[in-house]
A = this chain, B = another copy of it.
Amino acid sequence: MKFEEAKSKFIQTWGALGSQWGINKTMAQIHALLMISPDPLSMEDIMEELHISRGNTSMNLRSLMDWGIVFKEYKPGERKEFFSAEGNIDELARKIAKERSRREIKPTLRVLHDISAIDGDESTKAAHFKAKTEELYDFVSRADNMLEKITEQKENWITKTILKLMR
Chain A residues near B (Cβ < 8 Å): 1-3, 6-7, 9-10, 13, 17, 19-22, 35-38, 89-90, 93, 104, 108, 111-112, 114-121, 123-126, 128-129, 132-133, 135-136, 139, 142-143, 145-146, 149-150, 158-159, 161-162, 164-167
**Closest 3 A/B residue pairs (Cβ):** A6-B115, A38-B128, A3-B121
A59 to chain B, nearest CB (A): 18
Contact yes or no, A19 B17, CB < 8 A: no
Contact yes or no, A129 B89, CB < 8 A: no
A116 to B7, CA, bound (A): 9
Copies held by the complex: 2
Contact yes or no, B162 A164, CB < 8 A: no
Contact yes or no, B132 A158, CB < 8 A: no
A-B contacts, 5 listed (Cβ < 8 Å): A3-B129, A6-B116, A9-B114, A13-B108, A38-B125
Contact yes or no, A111 B13, CB < 8 A: yes
Residue of B nearest to A129 (CB): B36
Contact yes or no, B142 A159, CB < 8 A: yes
Tell which of B3, B108, B112, B114 touches A126, judged by Cβ atoms closer than 8 Å: B3
User: Which residues of chain B are within 8 angstroms of A36 by Cβ–Cβ distance?
Assistant: 128-129, 132-133
